[in-house]
Amino acid sequence: MNDSQVFDDLAYLRKVVEDSRRVVVDNGVGLLTWGILVVIGMILTYASVHLGLDLPSTLVWSVVIGAGWLLSIWLGWINMKRSRTRTFIQKVLWSIWVGLGITMTIIGFVGPLTGTIAGRACIPIISLVLGAGFFATATIHQEKLLTAAAAGWWIGGIATMVLPGDFSFLLFAGMMTFFQIAPGVYLYKKWKKEIKSER
């Protein structure tokens, strides 16, 4: 393969990526869904410890994460029905977030159950994983807000490593509100605007 052919192939690949990026407008519903569910889970976990609700954390998080996955599958099915073709970038985004979702589910459930990850360590680890996911998504979408959210997750991950254990539940709920739900609202509004402009 000569240099000219390599440059042609790279130019073609860049065009495919750019064309895919132009048609990708994330509606933010996935971010909103998971964000709201996790905030509910964190508040219930904190209330269980400090208000004596005596809710089994395994049950709470089984319901929260189970509901999240079921809603994600349902939303994915609806999106597939609406759009029969998926761009390369959409497939990349899907694979990033499904992969990270499976990773976080394993960290949150299997780690503490087997004793290989302390329960208190799950929040900082998951925060760092979310930072990586938002950074990759920000690069694809070229959205500064998502880059800021990624930085927030990384800084928050460090903060939850050093702050007292129970407070990290509320801190994580706050991080989820500002670094996931807020970007989800922004993307949803942007998506609605794009839909209106196409009509």
Say if residues 127 and 156 touch (Cβ distance below 8 Å): yes
Cα–Cα distance measured from residue 187 to residue 175, given in angstroms and rounded to the nearest whole number: 17
Q: Which two tokens stand for residue 139?
A: 């690069």
The residues, any chain, with a CB within 8 Å of residue 143's CB and separated by 6 or more, are: 137
pLDDT of residue 25: 53
pLDDT of residue 23: 42
To which residue do tokens 């809603």 refer?
A: 71
pLDDT of residue 141: 85
pLDDT of residue 78: 82
Cα–Cα distance measured from residue 169 to residue 160, given in angstroms and rounded to the nearest whole number: 9
pLDDT of residue 4: 67
Cα–Cα distance measured from residue 29 to residue 24, given in angstroms and rounded to the nearest whole number: 14
Please report, in tens digits, the pLDDT of each residue of the chain (199 residues total). 566 665 666 666 565 555 444 444 568 899 999 999 999 999 998 888 787 777 888 899 999 999 999 999 998 888 777 765 667 777 888 899 999 999 999 999 999 999 999 888 999 999 999 999 999 999 988 899 999 999 999 999 999 999 867 788 899 999 999 999 999 999 999 888 877 776 5
pLDDT tens digit string along 1-51? Answer: 566 665 666 666 565 555 444 444 568 899 999 999 999 999 998 888 787
What's the pTM value of the predicted model, to 2 decimals?
A: 0.84
Nearest to 112, CA basis, from 102, 100, 125:
125
The residues, any chain, with a CB within 8 Å of residue 153's CB and separated by 6 or more, are: 127, 128, 130, 131, 134, 175, 179
Cα–Cα distance measured from residue 97 to residue 73, given in angstroms and rounded to the nearest whole number: 12
The residues, any chain, with a CB within 8 Å of residue 171's CB and separated by 6 or more, are: 156, 159, 160, 163
R_g of the chain computed on alpha carbons: 19
Nearest to 139, CA basis, from 101, 172, 96, 175:
96
Say if residues 93 and 24 touch (Cβ distance below 8 Å): yes
